[in-house]
Amino acid sequence: MTPTVLHRAAPTSVRDGLVVLLAVTSGATDAVGFLALGSAFTSVMTGNMVLFGMGLARGDGAALALTAVAIGSFVTGAALGARIAGSPRTGDPVWPRRIRAALGVELALFAVFALAWWGLGAAPPEPAFLPLLALNAVALGIQSSAIQRFGVPGLSTTYLTGTLTSVVGRLVSGHGLRAVGHSLTILAGLVAGAGLGATLVRVAPAAVPLVQLVPVGLVLLGSRLVRA
């Protein structure tokens, strides 16, 4: 192993672990959106498009409004995240500074959501569904674009169907579990986050915002350890 690879191994490992935390946040936020904010997703836009089509077929105005707002908000967030984080560049460090800036905006949006959630007694009424869903979808759109700045093929924390497909493809083509270990960890993080979010909605709704604020806050702190 060359000195350069040795120098970058530890920072890359830190980055990979922090990305898993962001996947936990994505899964939890999607669960909260679906269970507590009118049955729409905040990052799974393919699912929202399906729900939108079903709403059209049934003439369900509420479903159409929720999914349309979620999709539009995610797109807005993705555009904002792309502007803040920028595009991958030759010579980028393991953790570009502008990714931290984008995640800082995401954390601020989650803080606004938290204040609103707690202000509504951790049980938002139906009129609050759209603005709260929009806040979370914008935040995850920003996160999605921020992760793209890493320039690592297949690295994502929101749209993970492609990650799952890649894992299956690599396994059946003869690669071992070690080759897909990080992708599997990200998928597990998403599932764990969804389970945690769903559990908090049911048994401890006042704690729901913590599953957003704590992981993203830890990522912002941990990213400062990535020096390469």
Q: Give the phi and the psi of residue 87 in degrees, each rounded to 5.
A: -105, 155
The whole-angstrom separation of Cα 58 and Cα 55 is 5
- Domains of the chain: which residue ranges? 14-223
Given this model, what pLDDT does residue 5 score?
41
Of 139, 150, 169, 108, nearest to 19 (Cα)? Answer: 150
**In this structure, what token pair is assigned to residue 87?**
């595009």
The answer to whether residue 164 scores a pLDDT higher than 70 is: no
> Which tens digits make up the pLDDT trace of 56-68?
999 999 999 999 9
Q: Which CATH class is domain 14-223?
A: mainly alpha
**Sequence-separated contacts (24+) of 121-125 with Cβ below 8 Å:** 122/205, 122/206, 122/208, 123/205, 124/36, 124/37
Please give the mean pLDDT across all residues of the chain.
Answer: 89
The answer to whether residue 189 scores a pLDDT higher than 80 is: yes
Helix ranges restricted to H, 149-205? 161-172, 181-203
**In this structure, what token pair is assigned to residue 135?**
């806040």
> Which tens digits make up the pLDDT trace of 143-157?
999 998 988 877 788
pTM of the model: 0.88
